[in-house]
Structures are given as C-alpha cells and as structure tokens.
C-alpha cells in the first residue's frame, strides 16, 4: 500500500565556481539554499541544496561545485534538461530578468501543449521554466525581486536522453508505476498519478546519439522519492529481481539513498522523505551555516579552511 514512487525527490548536477553557482540559483532564480554541506565522499568540495522554503521533495536541485571542473557535455545516458514549474503568465518576467542578468536563453516554445522558456545556468546546465498544463498549487520561495506570482514552484519534469527509450521505460512502468501519457516525435512523456507535481519523466530518443561527458554543467543523477526506508527496501528487491545491480542503503544525513544505473545509462537514486533538512537546523535557519556529517566534525576547522570562501 505504502510502497509507491512519489515522483522526483531531487536532482544532482555538477558545477564549476561555487560562488557563481550560489549567486545564480539564489539571487537570479530566487531559490532558497536549504543546506550548505560537503560532498560526503570528498569533504573539500561543497554540496549545495537549493529548493523551496523547506526543501520539500520534488523541489531540490543539488550541486557539487568544483572550482577547477572541466566543462561537460550532454549526451545519451544522461539527464539533460531540468524543468521547473512556474506560475501562469510569468515567462515574460523571466525573459526580462534573464536579459538583465545576461542569462543565456532561447525563444519561448511549446511542448505537449505547455509553454516553456529554455535557459542555461553559468556552467551551461540546461533548464526550462514551464507553465504546467495541470494544477500546481505549490508556492515558491520569495525574495525581494521575485514574488510568489512568478517564483519557481519546484520541478515539473526531467528529460533523459537515450539511445532507445524502451529499456528505461520498462523500469519506469513495470517497477515505478509510471505510465506513458503522450508522445511528440522522439519525446515520450511518462508520469505517475501518485503525486500531483514533479511527476513527469520525459524520455527523449537522441536523433544523433553521442556519449556525453559528466563534468561541469551536466547532471550527475536523478533521485526518485519514497516515503521511508521500508518502502525503499521494497523497491531495492524489485530492482534486484529485474537483474540490475543496486547499492545498499546509504545515510545521506537528510535522507537515505540507494543507487542503481538504469539500462539506458542514467544513474537513478531512490531517496526517502525522512529525516529531512530540519534534522540539524531550524526551518528559519536552513542553509545559513556549514553543516557537516558527524564523522567530519572533529576536522571542521581544517575542512572550513580548505573550502573556497562563499559570501551569502
Ligand atoms: Zn542524490
């Protein structure tokens, strides 16, 4: 009964300069930094989490910013476009804002009857602002220049670039209970009815399939959301039964994670709602200070000296 995939939990990408990354997502796009921590496998690197007020699942975009990262390239076997849901009538506001901040963007266009504005972050990561064709009652985080009537609400969808969409679709439909809803050209739209938002995965068959390079400006993995660890274990068994390799449960402090590579090459994660971002900070203070996993606390001073300085 409770064993459901509840849409997207978070998406993780690679960035270059941490300050540019922080400024773009908090000051230009107006997201809230809900956690400032380090890469648990490489504590000299930050791990930033940007989301709505509380960092609700389905709103969280995370980055590993490496100041000397090489520029990556999108290709097959990667998540290549991140779609954010924005309020009806807000695209003109965003075009003007992108002009003001010299953000690279393309013309407003339409897909599956929904208008969208494609743009890039400072590292070339591809994103889109989409007017959702279905109800999205989520409210975005407000900053001075970006009020709720234009603020990003959270994820609308993510696009996976594939050589052939069939094997990936089998995971989505047979194991995660997604359904094929629409198709336009080589773009196949799958979604789950278990949640209202962050429910869409577009599978795009590449017309010119080339391998990508996973470095700055590209996505590292996408995480699907489950309620808790019992539900996560249920899906772990299903993935094993499907003949795929999957990791054991990993404690990420703010959620528990499992990772597996789907047959199309994209790294998938299954992440829990618990314990959430308020486990070590109050809701008002989210993202305001550097948080470290317990094992790194004794080395805090050394880690703080090694991390690039970041001004908020
Ligand atoms: Zn993740």
pLDDT mean over 252-261: 98
Q: Rounded mean pLDDT of the chain?
A: 97
Cβ density class 126-157: b for 16+ within 10 Å, e for less: bbbbbbbeeebebebbeeeebeeebbbbbbbb
For residue 17, name the pLDDT band (cuts at 50, 70, 90): very high
What value, to the nearest 5°, has the Cα angle with vertex 278 and ends 272 and 284? 140
**What pLDDT, in 10s, does the model give residues 175-195?**
999 999 999 999 999 999 999
How do strand 78-85 and strand 154-162 relate by DSSP bridges?
antiparallel
Distance 128 CA to ligand 1 centre (A): 20
How do strand 8-15 and strand 60-65 relate by DSSP bridges?
parallel
Distance 312 CA to ligand 1 centre (A): 24
Number of C-alpha atoms within 13 angstroms, CB side, residue 128?
23
pLDDT mean over 138-144: 97
Distance 223 CA to ligand 1 centre (A): 6
pLDDT of residue 209: 86
Distance 12 CA to ligand 1 centre (A): 6
pLDDT of residue 208: 82
Least-confidence region, from 66-75, 129-138, 172-181, 202-211: 202-211
State percent of the chain over pLDDT 90. Answer: 98
Instruction: End-to-end CA distance of the chain: give it in Å, rounded.
Output: 44
Residue with tokens 């499992």: 258
Which H or E run includes 184?
Answer: strand 179-184
Q: Residue 175: CB partners within 8 Å, gap ≥ 6?
A: 235, 238, 239, 242
pLDDT mean over 119-139: 97
pLDDT mean over 163-185: 98
Which H or E run includes 37?
Answer: strand 32-39
pLDDT of residue 73: 97
Distance 267 CA to ligand 1 centre (A): 9
pLDDT of residue 308: 96
Asked if pLDDT for residue 1 goes beyond 70, the answer is no
State percent of the chain over pLDDT 70. Answer: 100
Number of C-alpha atoms within 13 angstroms, CB side, residue 160?
30
Distance 225 CA to ligand 1 centre (A): 11
Dist CA 267 CA 177 (whole Å): 18
Distance 109 CA to ligand 1 centre (A): 30
Residue closest to 94 by CA, chosen among 110, 105, 82 = 105
Handedness of CA 189, 125, 13, 26 (dihedral sign): negative
Dist CA 258 CA 223 (whole Å): 9
For residue 207, name the pLDDT band (cuts at 50, 70, 90): confident
Q: Please, which residues have CB less than 5 A from ligand 1, an ion? A: 12, 223, 269
Domains of the chain: 8-306 (3.10.180.10)
């Amino acid at each position: 009964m409770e064993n459901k995939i509840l849409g997207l939990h978070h998406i993780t990408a690679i960035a270059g300069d941490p300050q540019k990354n922080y400024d773009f997502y908090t000051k230009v796009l107006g997201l809230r930094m809900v956690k400032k921590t380090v890469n648990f496998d490489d504590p000299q690197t930050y791990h930033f989490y940007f989301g709505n007020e509380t960092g609700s699942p389905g709103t969280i975009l995370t980055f590993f910013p490496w100041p000397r990262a090489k520029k990556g390239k999108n290709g097959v076997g990667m998540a290549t476009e991140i779609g954010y849901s924005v309020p009806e009538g807000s695209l003109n506001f965003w075009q003007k804002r992108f002009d003001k901040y010299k953000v690279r963007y393309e013309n407003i266009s339409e897909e599956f009857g929904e208008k969208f504005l494609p743009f890039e972050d400072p590292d070339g990561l591809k994103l889109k602002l989409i007017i959702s064709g279905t109800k999205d009652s989520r409210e975005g985080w407000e900053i001075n220049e970006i009020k709720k009537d234009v603020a990003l609400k959270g994820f609308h969808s993510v696009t996976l670039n594939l050589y052939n969409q069939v094997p990936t679709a089998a995971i989505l439909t047979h194991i995660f209970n997604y359904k094929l809803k629409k198709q336009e050209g080589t773009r196949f739209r799958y979604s789950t009815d278990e949640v209202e938002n962050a429910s869409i995965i577009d599978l795009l068959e590449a017309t010119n399939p080339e391998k990508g390079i996973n470095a700055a400006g590209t996505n590292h993995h996408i995480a699907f959301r489950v309620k808790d660890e019992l539900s996560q274990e249920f899906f772990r068994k299903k993935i094993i039964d499907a003949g795929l390799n999957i990791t054991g449960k990993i404690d990420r402090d703010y959620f528990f994670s499992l990772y597996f590579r789907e047959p199309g090459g994209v790294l998938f994660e299954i992440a829990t709602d618990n314990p959430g971002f308020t486990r070590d900070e109050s809701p008002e203070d989210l993202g305001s200070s550097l948080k470290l996993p317990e094992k790194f606390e004794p080395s805090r001073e050394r880690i703080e000296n090694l991390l690039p300085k970041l001004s908020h």
